Structure 1
């Protein structure tokens, strides 16, 4: 009975440890995602600050400013400034594309993080359920063990009573045989 109880307790503890290990590994997976998410937010803010949160209206204003500035310059400088401004606009467009990609990645990471948090919550519920099952099974095993020992002590006391009865019966039989033998000798 003790072996069964120990085996049951051992298997349930192993299940509990496995569930805890799964939860810990998922939490450790969440930490890099959270750090990456925070990094993306910081990068996004930095890009927005550098770019100046360009919108179509701002871009249109900048195009007008560029045209006005280049119109005032002589021909060869106009080409250099125009080329520089074109490169800057291309860089700005690249930065905006990267920003859009980062925002998309941030959305995916946020969804992944929320999924992992839900999974963590479900695993915690499962761990708590396993703990409750473990406690219940431990209680059942303790009750079974107590019942076993109670029955064992009852059985042992009955065996002692039985032995005492047989000893009395044996002594009584010896006396009866002794008396019978004595009567035969007297005859």
Structure 2
């Protein structure tokens, strides 16, 4: 990977997932893992901030009545039924640790479902910055992270999933996706190995 052509995508770093009182925090089985994932993520972000890498966040936010969702199923139904990620709520807000670095992070609104490329300017921003390599961090591994990785690969980017900066609903799910699913379309690397690959 070349640092000038690399982008870090931050997905789901919002209070409803990462805060202890977040609406969907309890859906993440291992709360200790959430803390470790966040610590690793913040370290990687801070390492990349002074470099030429692009750092982009794509928060998922809905209107108060979820009018964007028409007869949702699965995770989107869970989000609506529990009132998660509603605009102008603490739960929808980016976690403080990431928000404190927001001046150097490109925030791209519009995400309404599993794909961070749908209804956002992400692909355009990556193209404008001549990005060839996309590394992905955040929540949830089997849903938004996997979707982002597959779509990025389809768009022609080289994709790397960060094994210790992503969190799933269960430990089994995390290991299964990292070991069996994601290697079919992406590299799976730890944050330390990514830093080494980028010469940091």
- What TM-score comes out, normalization by structure 1 length? 0.20
Using CA pairs under 8 Å that are at least 6 residues apart, name the structure with larger relative contact order, 1 or 2: 1
Structure with more of its chain in helix, by fraction? 1
Structure with more of its chain in strand, by fraction? 2
- What TM-score comes out, normalization by structure 2 length? 0.19
